[in-house]
Copies of this chain bind each other. A is one copy, B any other.
Amino acid sequence: MCDSMAMTSANNLFSDIPLEFKEELFEIILRRETFRIERIVSHGHSSPEGFWYDQDEHEWVIILKGSAIIRFEDQAENITMSSGEYIHIEKHQRHRVVWTDPEQETIWLAVHYQ
C-alpha cells in the first residue's frame, strides 16, 4: 500500500470515516520496523472505568479534530486536548481517556515507537 501512495493522488486522513461506528476506529496508516503511524477516531468514547493503557512503546499523539480529556495516573490534573494539541506518552506511563467530544468526531494521529 505504502509504495503505491506516492504514485497516486493523496489519501485523506479526515475522510473515509463510517457514518456510524460503535467502537473507536483504529487504523494503521504506515507501519515500519521501528514505528507505526495510526489514526484513531473517537466519538464520545472513553476508556472503561478503571482501565489504564499501559503500553510497551512510547507514543506521540496529536488531536487533529475534536477534543478529549486525558488522565495520567501519575499526575494530579487531567489534560484537556483540542485540535492541534499533542502530547508525548512514555512507555508504561499509565493513562486513560476520560472523555472525548460526543458532538463530533475526534481524530487522533499517533506515532508509536520503540
Give the interface of A toward B (CB within 8 A): 2-3, 5-7, 9-15, 29-30, 32, 34-35, 37, 60, 62, 64, 72, 75, 79-81, 83-90, 93, 109, 111, 113-114
* B10 engages A79 (CB within 8 Å): yes
What are some 5 contacts across the A-B interface (CB < 8 A)? Answer: A7-B75, A10-B85, A13-B86, A35-B111, A62-B109
A30-B60, A34-B35, A86-B29 known; A10 and B111 CB under 8 Å? Answer: no
Number of copies: 2
In the assembled complex, which residues on chain B have CB atoms less than 8 Å from the CB atom of A88?
A: 2-3, 5-6, 30
In the assembled complex, which residues on chain B have CB atoms less than 8 Å from the CB atom of A87?
A: 5-6, 10-11
In the assembled complex, which residues on chain B have CB atoms less than 8 Å from the CB atom of A75?
A: 7
In the assembled complex, which residues on chain B have CB atoms less than 8 Å from the CB atom of A13?
A: 62, 84-86
Minimum distance in angstroms from A70 CB to a CB of chain B? 8
- CB-CB nearest in chain B for A84: B14
* B6 engages A72 (CB within 8 Å): yes
Minimum distance in angstroms from A68 CB to a CB of chain B? 10
* B89 engages A6 (CB within 8 Å): yes
